[in-house]
């Protein structure tokens, strides 16, 4: 099933939970929160599915047309977002880097999360080198600590699309560390929906980034250096994973910084990142407001 979080356009800011019938289709509003659904696990998903299948036109279902809603990120408050660096063979090659011997792990803060349809505020006073990174994002379903690779997929709730925006120049000025370069507001875009793991095989999915309609990245999850099970197992041996946590599994070739001449996100750019079988995130770049608070 496809689960989304959304706001009704005429009802203000309340975030609601919904089932999306298909990518871009009608949304059936359901009770509870995404966090409760994830913690309920695949059993809760199966029971919801049964309910819908047994009576798909039940009059008490609240079905919303897409024109009436705006999606937000399907995950809004995970305990953490785990990033994985240099995890595609083609991606490492275009940067002239050796393939890592073990996963390169970094953290992104939940307050960086935005969703499809959101603006990307460019912190232009600090950086002019914001780059795109389309990624398959794994949503963790159960507490995971010291998990074996063979069992790792048992800990997955589902998958969504992620954009791991990165300010390239800030990495260089911060001792090569990635934290400051990747934690501006809006720099972790997630969405449009979480597709539950029973409906998607994540090992051979096409990924693509388009900027103003021009293709920038094209890759395939089969090109990962460390696979999804390996990443979950490896991370869980160092950092305990909790339901709702997100692992951004790395990005394929086609980064702006690797182009000749280099290309970076400019104000007004429309960035579209897709993973086959999940959907597309659309962000439009604007200038970050420089308010003090
Ligand atoms: Mg990345």
Q: Which of 191, 113, 111, 198 is nearest to 154 (CA)?
A: 198
Give the C-alpha separation, 246 to 227, whole Å.
15
Instruction: Determine the Cα–Cα distance for residues 36 and 255; give it in Å rounded to an integer.
Output: 36
Lowest mean per-residue pLDDT among 47-56, 106-115, 258-267: 47-56
Mean pLDDT of 228-232: 98
Burial of 120 (C-beta count, 10 Å sphere; 0-12/13-18/19+): buried
If pLDDT is split at 50, 70 and 90, which confidence band does 48 have?
Answer: confident
Rounded CA separation 133/252 (Å)? 8
- Of 22, 124, 12, 31, the residue nearest 69 (C-alpha): 12
The strand pairing partners of 201, in sequence order, are none
Q: Respond yes or no on whether the N-terminal peptide bond of residue 159 is cis (omega within 30° of 0).
A: no
pLDDT above 80: residue 28? yes
- Stretch 144-166: mean pLDDT: 98
Measured in angstroms, how far is the CA atom of residue 68 from the centroid of ligand 1? 33
> Is pLDDT larger for residue 263 or for residue 50?
263
Distance 135 CA to ligand 1 centre (A): 7
Alpha-carbon distance 269 to 271, whole Å? Answer: 6
**Parallel/antiparallel/unpaired status of strands 81-85 and 246-248:** parallel
Question: Which part of the chain is CATH 3.90.850.10?
Answer: 81-287
Q: Minimal CA–CA distance to 234: which of 166, 107, 145, 157?
A: 145
Measured in Å, residue 226 CA sits from the centre of ligand 1 at 14
Q: How far is the CA of 67 from the centre of ligand 1 (A)?
A: 32
Alpha helices in 128-285 (DSSP H): 168-173, 228-236
> Ligand 1 mean position to 235 CA, how many Å?
15
Q: What is the pLDDT of residue 56?
A: 67
Inter-residue long-range contacts of 263-266, CB under 8 Å, 24+ positions, other chains counted: 263/211, 263/216, 264/128, 264/129, 264/130, 264/131, 264/168, 265/120, 265/122, 265/130, 265/131, 265/132, 265/165, 265/211, 266/122
Q: How far is the CA of 120 from the centre of ligand 1 (A)?
A: 16
Q: What integer best gives the mean pLDDT of the chain?
A: 95
* CA angle, residues 166, 170, 176, in degrees to nearest 5: 95
Q: Which fold has domain 81-287?
A: Fumarylacetoacetate hydrolase; domain 2 (3.90.850)
pLDDT digits (tens, 9 = 90+) for 3-25: 999 999 998 899 999 999 999 99
Please state, in angstroms and rounded to a whole number, the distance separating the CA atoms of residues 137 and 94.
22
- For 54-104, what is each residue's pLDDT tens digit? 876 766 788 999 999 999 999 999 999 999 999 999 999 999 999 999 999
> Which alpha helices (H) appear in the chain, and where do they start and end?
34-54, 89-94, 168-173, 228-236
Distances in whole angstroms, Cα of residue 176 to Cα of each of 75, 167, 172, 173, 249: 29, 12, 5, 7, 20
How many angstroms separate the alpha carbon of residue 199 from the centre of ligand 1? 25
Rounded Cα distance, 215 and 150, in Å: 36
Give the Å distance between the CA of 251 and the centre of ligand 1.
5
* Alpha-carbon span 19 to 49, nearest angstrom: 10
Task: State in Å: Cα 35 to ligand 1 middle.
Answer: 24
Q: Cβ(250)–Cβ(82) under 8 Å?
A: no
């Amino acid at each position: 099933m496809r689960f989304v979080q959304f706001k009704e356009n005429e009802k203000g800011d309340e975030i609601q939970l919904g089932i999306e019938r298909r990518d871009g289709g009608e949304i059936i509003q359901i009770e509870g929160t995404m966090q409760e659904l994830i913690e309920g696990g695949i059993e809760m998903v199966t029971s919801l599915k049964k309910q819908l299948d047994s009576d798909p036109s039940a009059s008490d279902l609240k079905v919303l047309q897409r024109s009436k809603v705006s999606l937000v990120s399907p995950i809004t408050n995970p305990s953490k977002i785990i990033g994985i660096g240099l995890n595609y063979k083609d991606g490492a090659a275009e940067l002239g880097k050796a393939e890592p011997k073990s996963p390169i792990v970094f953290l992104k803060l939940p307050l960086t999360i935005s969703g499809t349809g959101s603006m990307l505020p460019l912190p232009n006073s600090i950086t002019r080198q914001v780059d795109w990174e389309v990624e398959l994002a794994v949503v963790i379903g159960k507490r995971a600590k010291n998990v074996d690779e063979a069992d790792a997929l048992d800990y997955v709730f589902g998958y969504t699309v992620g954009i791991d925006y990165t300010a390239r120049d800030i990495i260089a000025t911060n001792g090569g560390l990635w934290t400051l370069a990747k934690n501006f507001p809006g720099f972790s875009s997630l969405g449009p929906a979480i597709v539950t793991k029973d409906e998607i095989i994540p090992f051979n999915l096409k990924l693509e980034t388009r900027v103003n309609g021009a293709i920038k990245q094209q890759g395939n999850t089969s090109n990962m250096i460390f696979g999804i099970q390996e990443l979950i197992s490896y991370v869980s041996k160092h950092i305990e994973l909790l339901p709702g946590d997100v692992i951004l599994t790395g990005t394929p070739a086609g980064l702006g910084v690797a182009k000749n001449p280099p290309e970076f996100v400019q104000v007004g750019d429309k960035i579209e990142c897709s993973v086959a079988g999940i959907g597309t995130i659309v962000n439009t770049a604007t200038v970050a407001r420089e308010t003090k608070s």
